[in-house]
A and B are shown apart, each in its own frame.
Chain A
Amino acid sequence: MFTVLRDLLRYRTEFRFGAILTGFIAAFAALSLVSPYPPQDQFVVPPDLPPSWSYWFGTTSRGQDVFWQLTFAIRNTMLFGLSVAVLSRLVSIAIGMWSGYKGGIVDRLLMSVNDTFIVIPLFPLLVLFYFVLRDRMSWPLLALAMASLGWAYDARLIRAVALSLSSREFTQQCVFSGMRTREIVFQEHLPYVLPIVFYTTMNNMNWSIGLEVTLSVLGFTDIDTPTVGVMIYWANQHTALVAGVWWWVFFPVLFVMILFIGLFLLAISTNEYIDPRSRLARMGDVSG
């Protein structure tokens, strides 16, 4: 796993770009630790100031410094994406590996449930979730709901890898030498599955952050905690664009776009690396 990451960093431009972009955003989020203002405080600076040397990204109509507010927003958004990704990995690794290893009827049953979760439009369900919870909606609850709905596509990818592993000779050998199923799956197969888990984690983070932004912009989340979506929500509430306070919207949108592209580049370059056919094609390109 780690040698894979090292190789990727060394040889793949896309991966390096993705790592730089994501790293930049993560470093920016880390600045929230040294913010001079607590995230919830309002009117700590003069409102509606355009970007300047003293306020790099300007200030909001709520009297907050956009720069420092955005560090908190990015941090919360990234943490949210990461927790959804980690939680849903538990389900997708379990389902994917079980289904792929067992094969047969178990596989078919699990995969038709799996395909069901892929097809169902989740957004109306999440809106319904907000609708019944209203003020009790919190970030951990939303993360839990999204993790329990958003594992399916990745489980399918993991299952494909597990399926090909289960017919390999070393698996037969493990079975004959008396290893238990759980041992085979977790000790022998998991290392081969990890690169695709990494790929799906990045993809899942993009998915959950996208939904976070969308739901928050509509005001369908806990709008007291600053996230990127919540920042845009408040900017819209104060009609920032009509009032000419464009920096309130511009910087959150710009930073979250950088984050999306960074995570996406990390994901696809890993995926291409995993796929042996495109790896061969690349080697052909280099020699030819």
Chain B
Amino acid sequence: MQAYAIYALKRLAQFVLVVFIGINLAYLISHATPIDPVEQTVSAATSFGNASPEAILMMRASLRELYGLEGGAVSQYAAFWRRVLVGDFGPSLSAFPTPVSTLIGRALPWTVGLLSVSTCLAFALGNLLGGLAGYFRESRILKLAGIAAMAVHPIPYYIVAFVLLIVFGYLWPVLPISGGYRINTPWGWNAEFVLSVVTHAILPVASLVLVGVGGWFMGMRSLVSNIVSEDYVVYAELAGVSRGRILGAYVMRNALAPQVTGLAMSLGSIFNGAIITEQVFGYPGIGTLLIQAVHAGDYSLVIGIASVSIVAVSVAVLIIDLLYPLLDPRVKVA
């Protein structure tokens, strides 16, 4: 138990470091550039009509306060951190006066749902097929599956999602290609609404799984093909343990530990993929919100989403890290 506590503390320290560096990067990017977001917003707001100089001055002052750009560098930095820690990024400019946190809170469940379903599916499918392909190396079907996974894997999320959109949007329109649920369907736990949520999720999930599966497949296959030549596996085979048991309990069980570490490592890039996939399919999550915010010039919303994404991904990584000892008992001893 004590060993686990030390391990958990280390992971917690890493979590704090990730959030610290991540938020500092966001601060650096948003403040170290020569462009003043206040002037940008002012010029965007005044380009449509002629505002009086007094009105512009007032607007400038209130925007400075709103964006936390008052005072010197130290107080701006402190204000930035306070916003992140409290989770209050001020009102959104494009959906005034709704607070940024409300907008993000509304979008976050969609992203979390999409991400967790597709990551679990891709991870399970890729590892299972990869394990089989590493163990039954002569199988034609598994070799073909390997080639297919290898062909799709290097293609970025955007292109895969885009191709799926073309195929199911224009060539063979059977699935909904936009939105998170059917419009005008009342919210609630009834069959109709749940079904519309599921059918709308099929294409985004499919494109995330298609890209994701290849990495797990190849990782698992090479791990398994190294483990099968280990002495204890050869011994088990000679002792007549059934092949299913060898593959499940002896080989894949051991290969799973590095794969879970890999999952924690790649969560950030999977998140990037989810953002872009959401945008392609108009899914009402964080990604679509972020891109809308950029187009609308909504400074506080963009900063809010960037900060929340960093914190959310780090929390997910921390959860995986804390659960990892269940899978790898060596952590408890060491």
Interface residues of A (CB under 8 A from B): 112-113, 115-125, 127-134, 136, 149, 153, 206, 209-211, 213-214, 217-218, 220, 232, 241, 249, 253, 256-257, 260-261, 263-265, 268, 272, 275, 277-278, 281
Contacts and interface: CB of A to CB of B under 8 A. Distances in A.
B178 to A, nearest CB: 14
B150 A214 contact: no
Contact of A122 (B33, B226, B268): B268
A120 B310 contact: yes
Contacts of A213: 156, 158-159
Contacts of A232: 162
Interface of B: 14, 17-18, 21-22, 25-26, 29-30, 33-35, 37, 40, 150-151, 153-159, 162-163, 166, 170, 218, 222, 225-226, 229, 264-265, 267-269, 271-272, 275-276, 279, 290-291, 294, 299, 302-303, 305-306, 309-310, 313-314, 317
A281 B226 contact: yes
Nearest to A209: B156
A265 B150 CA distance: 9
A125 B294 contact: no
B151 A113 contact: no
Contact of A260 (B30, B40, B155, B267): B155
A131 B299 contact: yes
Given A119-B18, A127-B306, A264 B37 contact: no
A210 B226 CA distance: 31
Contacts of B154: 206, 260-261, 263-264
A79 to B, nearest CB: 18
A216 to B, nearest CB: 10
12 contacts: A113-B21, A119-B314, A121-B313, A125-B306, A132-B35, A149-B25, A210-B155, A210-B158, A220-B294, A264-B153, A268-B150, A277-B226
Contacts of B22: 116, 120
A169 to B, nearest CB: 26
Contact of B275 (A123, A249, A257): A123
B291 A119 contact: no
Nearest to A156: B265
A132 B31 CA distance: 9
Nearest to A260: B154
A119 B155 contact: no
Contact of A123 (B225, B264, B265, B272): B272
Contacts of A265: 150
A125 B25 contact: yes
A119 B317 contact: yes
A264 B18 CA distance: 29
Contacts of A129: 29
B29 A124 contact: no
A130 B294 contact: yes
Contacts of A277: 226
Contacts of B35: 132-134, 136
Contacts of B21: 113, 116-117, 120
A241 B162 CA distance: 11
Nearest to A285: B137
